[in-house]
Amino acid sequence: MDNIDIKELHWMLTITQNIDVGLVVLDRDYRVQLWNTFMENRTGVLPDKAANQSFFTLFPEVNQAWFSKKIESVVTLGTPAFTIWEQRPYLVRFKNLQPITGQEDFMYQNTTLFPLRSTNSEISHICLVIYDVTDVATNRHRLQAANNALQELSSTDRLTGLFNRGHWEEMLKNEYARHCRYDSQVSLVMFDIDHFKRVNDTYGHQMGDKVIQRVAEVTRQLARTADIAGRYGGEEFVVLLPDTDKAGAKIFAERLRLAIEAQEMSHEGHVIRCTISLGVADLAEQTPDYKTLIEWADQALYASKKNGRNQVSVHE
């Protein structure tokens, strides 16, 4: 070997040592043959201590059966194998080392395993490359959180926090599909605030908003977790009750009516009360589509209004 070769070799070694990815070379018995500075710095194990140690002794968290299978496929097929953080967050567990910018507990990793051939072209060693992809994972997680927040924003009504009409109708469609497939029961309670226009005209829109918010709050308190409550229009609300027939829904509607009636809201020394009129329908009879359920509940609601308000009517 002449001088140039030695110089280049020296360079190569320095680069291998200093490159910001983890490099480990394993022999066919999983013993470490190369261990670069990246690995040394993160494990505290010096290269001469790591040399000839079993990979599984150094990293007891690695599932031996799984990892060996992976390595064996690299050797028999002669093609590289990969792990990605979405599939396994890490191969070897390294703590996150950035107290300020680090937001995860450990280093997310992508890894590559590729065969190293000896001079007789047999695969005698495997090279493992570990990439730190914590930044990528952190950003992806943030993006997901932002998307979830957006999803929530676009599905809820700003004033009341109930589902908005569009999202609520989507949920109704799903329930209707479930009903068609499994013959599950579902009923709908539709209601609106009696003489709401009068509240607005007398006490102003801000008070009107407060009344709407209070009605929504009471509805939320009385609804079960599985029930799907939404603001359908201005002062109009809907609650979808899965696995409930109209008799059950009527009990819920009556309880809701009494609870709203009992509310007292104060405004500049005045005590304001309000009542609601409700309509109940279910899917016991054949319906051509989900909209029919809304129509039926609406008809029942209209009957409550016509008969003097502050009452529950059931579509028959």
Partner 1 sequence: MPMIPLLICDDSNMARKQLLRALPSDWDVSVTMATNGQEGVEAIRQGLGQVVLLDLTMPVMDGYQALAAVRAENLDAKIIVVSGDVQEEAVRRCMELGALAFLKKPAEPEELKQTLSRLGLLGVPATTPALIPAAAGARISLHDALREIVNVAMGRAAALLARVLGVFVQLPVPNVNMLEVGELHMALADAQSRDRLTAVCQGYIGDCIAGEALLLFHDSEIADMARLMQRDSDDYSDMEMLLDLSAILIGACLSGIAEQIDVEFSQGHPQVLGTRSGIDELIRINQQRWKKTLAVEISYSLEGHNIHFDLLMLFTEDSVELLSHKLAYLMS
User: Would you name the residues annotated as active-site residues?
Assistant: 235
User: Least CB distance from residue 41 to partner 1, whole Å?
Assistant: 23
Residue placing its CB nearer to partner 1 in the complex, 84 or 207: 84
Q: Is residue 242 a contact partner of residue 184, using CB atoms and an 8 Å limit?
A: yes
Separation between Cα atoms, residue 56 and residue 62, nearest integer Å: 7
The CB density around residue 252, as the number of other CB atoms within 10 Å, is: 21
Q: Give the nearer residue to partner 1 in terms of CB position, either 68 or 185.
A: 68
| Residue 79 interacting with partner 1 (CB under 8 A) | yes
Closer to partner 1 by Cβ: residue 87 or 266: 87
Question: Is 255 within 8 Å of 248 (Cβ atoms)?
Answer: no
For position 68 contacting partner 1 by CB under 8 A, the verdict is no
The helix/strand/coil state of 119 is coil
Helix/strand/coil for 74: helix
Place of tokens 């507990």: 105
Could you say whether residue 73 binds partner 1 (CB under 8 A)? yes
C-beta of 56 vs 203, nearer to partner 1: 56
Nearest distance from residue 110's CB to partner 1, in Å?
Answer: 5
Residues 6, 13, 15, 77: which binds partner 1 (CB under 8 A)?
77
Residue of 86, 122, 152, 285 interacting with partner 1 (CB under 8 A): 86
Pull the structure tokens for residue 310: 């502050």
Q: Which of 34, 39, 71, 81 binds partner 1 (CB under 8 A)?
A: 81
Q: State yes or no: residue 110 binds partner 1 (CB under 8 A).
A: yes
Q: Which long-range contacts (CB under 8 A, 24 or more apart) does 89-98 make?
A: 89/137, 91/59, 91/62, 91/67, 91/128, 91/130, 92/59, 92/61, 92/62, 92/130, 93/59, 93/61, 94/42, 94/43, 96/134, 97/42
Q: Which is nearer to partner 1, 52 or 63 (CB)?
A: 63
Q: Choose, by CB under 8 A, the member of 84, 218, 222, 303 that binds partner 1.
A: 84
From the list 53-61, 65-73, 284-292, 296-304, the region that binds partner 1 by CB under 8 A is 65-73
Q: What is the DSSP letter of 95?
A: B
Q: Which stretch binds partner 1 (CB under 8 A): 58-66, 180-188, 261-269, 277-285?
A: 58-66
Residues contacting 43, CB < 8 A, separation 6+? 50, 58, 94
* Binding stretches for partner 1 (CB under 8 A): 63, 65-66, 73, 77-84, 86-88, 110, 112, 131
